[in-house]
Amino acid sequence: MANITVIPASKTLHSKMPLNAQSRRKVAGYARVSTDSEEQLTSYEAQVDYYTKYIRSNPDWEFVDVYTDEGIFATNTRHRDGFNRMIADALAGKIDLIVTKSVSRFARNTVDSLTAVRKLKEHGTEVYFEKEGIYTFDSKGELLITIMSSLAQEESRSISENVTWGQRKRFADGKVSLPYKSFLGYRRGEDGKPEIDPKQAVTVRLIYDWFLSGKSLPQIAKELTESSIPTPMGRTVWQPSVVQSILSNEKYKGDALLQKSYTVDFLAKKKKVNEGEIPQYYVEGNHEAIISPDVFEQVQRELVHRKANNGRHSSVHLFSGKIRCGQCGERYGSKTWHSTSKYRRVVWQCNHKFDNDEYCTTPHLTDEDIKSLFISAVNQLIGQKETITAALTVSLDVAFDLTNLKAEQVELESEMAVVYDLIEKCIYENAHTVLDQEEYQKRYDGLTARFDTAKARFDAVEDAIHSKQSRRAKIEAFLEALAKAELVGTFDIALWCGLVDVVTVHRKDDVRFTFKNGQEIKA
Per-residue model confidence (pLDDT) at position 65: 93
- Angstrom distance (rounded) from CA 317 to CA 339: 18
DSSP assignment letter at 463: H
Per-residue model confidence (pLDDT) at position 150: 57
Query: Residue 172 pLDDT more than 80?
Result: no
8 A C-beta contact, residue 144 and residue 133: no
Query: Residue 138 pLDDT more than 90?
Result: no
Going by pLDDT thresholds of 50, 70 and 90, the confidence category of residue 163 is: very low
Going by pLDDT thresholds of 50, 70 and 90, the confidence category of residue 56 is: very high
Give pTM, 2 decimals: 0.41
Q: Average the pLDDT over 263-286 and give the result.
A: 59
The domain limits of the chain are 25-159, 174-314, 315-523
Q: Average the pLDDT over 137-161 and give the result.
A: 59
Going by pLDDT thresholds of 50, 70 and 90, the confidence category of residue 377 is: very high
Per-residue model confidence (pLDDT) at position 90: 92
Can you state the percent helix, strand and coil of the chain, rounding each to 5?
Answer: 50, 15, 35
Going by pLDDT thresholds of 50, 70 and 90, the confidence category of residue 37 is: very low
Q: Which CATH number fits domain 25-159: 3.40.50.720, 3.40.50.1390, 1.10.3720.10, 3.40.1190.20?
A: 3.40.50.1390
- Angstrom distance (rounded) from CA 371 to CA 209: 17
Interval 57-105: pLDDT, tens: 999 999 999 998 875 444 444 567 888 899 999 999 999 999 988 776 7
Q: Is 483 helix (H, G, I), strand (E, B) or coil?
A: helix
Helix-then-strand count for the chain, H and E: 15, 18
Query: Residue 262 pLDDT more than 80?
Result: no
- Angstrom distance (rounded) from CA 15 to CA 126: 8
Q: Which CATH number fits domain 174-314: 3.40.50.1100, 3.40.50.300, 2.120.10.90, 3.90.1750.20?
A: 3.90.1750.20
Query: Residue 10 pLDDT more than 60?
Result: no
Torsion over CA: 304, 305, 308, 311 (sign)? negative
Query: Residue 35 pLDDT more than 60?
Result: no
Write down the H helix ranges in 9-140: 38-56, 81-91, 103-106, 110-122
Query: Residue 175 pLDDT more than 60?
Result: no
- Angstrom distance (rounded) from CA 505 to CA 361: 10
Query: Residue 205 pLDDT more than 60?
Result: yes
DSSP assignment letter at 163: H
Query: Residue 13 pLDDT more than 50?
Result: no
Q: Average the pLDDT over 133-159 and give the result.
A: 63
8 A C-beta contact, residue 500 and residue 374: yes
Least confident of 73-82, 274-283, 385-394, 406-415: 73-82
